[in-house]
């Protein structure tokens, strides 16, 4: 798809701006309006150092497009909305956002994130001005996320594996990198872009970090944002089903790193079981059983994911 087929909407602050930092937010059917409102509250404090670019990756919702167009035009921050007529995928979308950015540093921020501090942009802009890091991850939290019972399993899993303190993340810097709240210097991104061979959901950001960490230092800091988009067990299971080919692609490219992952070790063990397809169904069933303790359901869902990966590795 060519850039000419994308619809581009700029606000009044866009022309003439010279940002050091570009916030890049792709979305598909999600509504980033609340995130944009929070970011724009910091416009005065960043004093022209930050721009925002939003990519609608083929949602095809005229009502949402009209609402976001109005939001973009009203923002004090320099802002651009790119609307695609069809979905291009997460990796290609992020590469497209980077091509549109003017800042020397790129902050990839997912549309379902909410900054945990009202100095979120200011702290990122200060870091860029002070240290100009190659790669930095600000952190991931659930502080503002919904507490509905239907999201309890996802909350338990994310709390254990993703909401990791800064000091612990720094011990395995390439492992704890998610494009939900990730800063990348432009020259680093140009040297190592996201692999468009990844499709669907999952692992493209981790694989990218593995490549980048061989050449550049990955910094971790405490500037977290909340992931608001918790999923039900059924929705998570569907994402895991999509992610199996991506996990296999990553394992082929980085066998020495992936071999240490618990999910990979579990997949290799499960691969030996002759009744694995039957067992996989039982694992998913246990994860969906509301009468079981949340910890047991979360363990069952992790096993289900490993069983899916066993078919791919």
Is the CA virtual torsion 17, 19, 24, 25 positive or negative?
negative
Segment 47-53 shows an average pLDDT of: 96
Q: DSSP class of residue 172?
A: S
3 pLDDT more than 60: no
User: Do 10 and 51 sit in the same domain of this protein?
Assistant: yes
Q: DSSP class of residue 79?
A: E
User: Do 149 and 165 sit in the same domain of this protein?
Assistant: yes
Is the CA virtual torsion 239, 245, 250, 256 positive or negative?
positive
Q: What Å distances lie between residue 170 and 129, 174, 177, 207, CA to CA?
A: 21, 9, 10, 17
If one counts the domains in the chain, the total is 2
Starting at the edge strand that comes first in sequence, how are the strands of the sheet with 7-10 ordered? 7-10, 79-83, 50-56, 21-27, 105-109, 181-185, 135-137, 218-220
User: Do 104 and 209 sit in the same domain of this protein?
Assistant: yes
User: Do 148 and 288 sit in the same domain of this protein?
Assistant: no
Among 230, 250, 279, identify where a domain stops: 230
The pLDDT of residue 199 is: 77
- Which positions ≥6 away from 295 have C-beta within 8 Å? 156
User: Do 86 and 211 sit in the same domain of this protein?
Assistant: yes
Q: Which CATH number does the domain housing residue 209 bear? A: 3.90.550.10
pLDDT band at 79 (very low <50, low <70, confident <90, very high): very high
CA separation for the pair 15, 273 (Å, rounded): 61
55 pLDDT more than 90: yes
Tokens of 160: 């254990």
User: Do 127 and 202 sit in the same domain of this protein?
Assistant: yes
User: Do 21 and 58 sit in the same domain of this protein?
Assistant: yes
User: Do 31 and 97 sit in the same domain of this protein?
Assistant: yes
Among 230, 258, 290, identify where a domain stops: 230
pLDDT band at 270 (very low <50, low <70, confident <90, very high): very high
CA separation for the pair 1, 85 (Å, rounded): 10
- Name the H helices within the chain: 33-40, 43-46, 62-74, 90-100, 120-130, 152-161, 166-171, 186-191, 204-213, 233-253, 255-258, 262-270, 276-288, 294-310
The pLDDT of residue 52 is: 98
User: Do 37 and 139 sit in the same domain of this protein?
Assistant: yes
User: Do 60 and 108 sit in the same domain of this protein?
Assistant: yes
User: Do 60 and 83 sit in the same domain of this protein?
Assistant: yes
The pLDDT of residue 153 is: 97
Question: Range with the lowest mean pLDDT among 131-140, 152-161, 187-196?
Answer: 187-196
Nearest to 224 by CA among 160, 165, 151, 156: 165
Tokens of 117: 């501090």
Q: What is the pLDDT of residues 162-203, one digit of tens each?
A: 899 999 999 888 788 888 899 999 999 999 888 888 877 888
CA separation for the pair 143, 146 (Å, rounded): 9
The pLDDT of residue 91 is: 73
Among 188, 215, 230, identify where a domain stops: 230
Q: What is the pLDDT of residues 273-296, one digit of tens each?
A: 988 999 999 999 999 999 999 999
Is the CA virtual torsion 88, 54, 71, 117 positive or negative?
positive
Residue 296 lies in domain: 237-310
User: Do 132 and 45 sit in the same domain of this protein?
Assistant: yes
- Count of residues making up the chain: 313
CA separation for the pair 26, 28 (Å, rounded): 7
CA separation for the pair 290, 149 (Å, rounded): 9
Q: DSSP class of residue 232?
A: -
Starting at the edge strand that comes first in sequence, how are the strands of the sheet with 140-141 ordered? 113-115, 225-227, 140-141
């Amino acid at each position: 798809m060519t850039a000419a087929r994308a619809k581009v909407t700029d606000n009044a602050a866009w022309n003439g701006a010279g940002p050091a930092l570009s916030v890049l937010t792709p979305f598909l059917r999600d509504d980033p309006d609340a995130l944009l409102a929070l970011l724009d509250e910091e416009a005065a404090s960043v004093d022209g150092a930050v721009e925002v670019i939003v990519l609608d990756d083929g949602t095809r919702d005229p009502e949402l497009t009209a609402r976001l167009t109005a939001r973009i035009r009203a923002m004090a921050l320099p802002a651009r909305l790119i609307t695609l007529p069809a979905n291009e995928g997460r990796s290609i979308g992020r590469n497209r956002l980077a091509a549109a950015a003017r800042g020397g540093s790129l902050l990839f921020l997912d549309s379902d994130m909410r900054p945990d501090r009202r100095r979120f942009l200011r702290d990122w802009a200060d870091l860029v001005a002070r240290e100009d890091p190659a790669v930095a991850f600000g952190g991931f939290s659930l502080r503002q996320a919904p507490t509905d019972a239907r999201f309890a399993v996802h909350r338990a899993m994310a709390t254990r594996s993703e909401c990791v303190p800064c000091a612990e993340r720094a011990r395995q810097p390439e492992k704890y990198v998610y494009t939900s709240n990730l800063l990348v210097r432009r020259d680093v991104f140009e040297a190592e872009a996201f692999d468009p061979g990844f499709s669907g959901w999952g692992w493209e950001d981790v694989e990218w970090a593995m490549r980048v960490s061989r050449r550049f230092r990955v910094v971790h800091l405490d500037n977290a944002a909340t992931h608001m988009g918790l999923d039900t067990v059924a929705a998570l299971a569907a994402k895991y089903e999509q992610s199996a080919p991506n996990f296999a692609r990553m394992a082929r490219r980085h066998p020495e790193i992936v071999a240490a992952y618990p999910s990979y070790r579990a997949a290799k063990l499960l691969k030996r079981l002759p009744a694995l397809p039957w067992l996989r169904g039982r694992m998913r069933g246990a994860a969906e059983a509301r009468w079981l303790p949340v910890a047991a359901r979360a363990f069952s869902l992790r096993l289900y994911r490993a069983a899916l990966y066993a078919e791919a590795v």
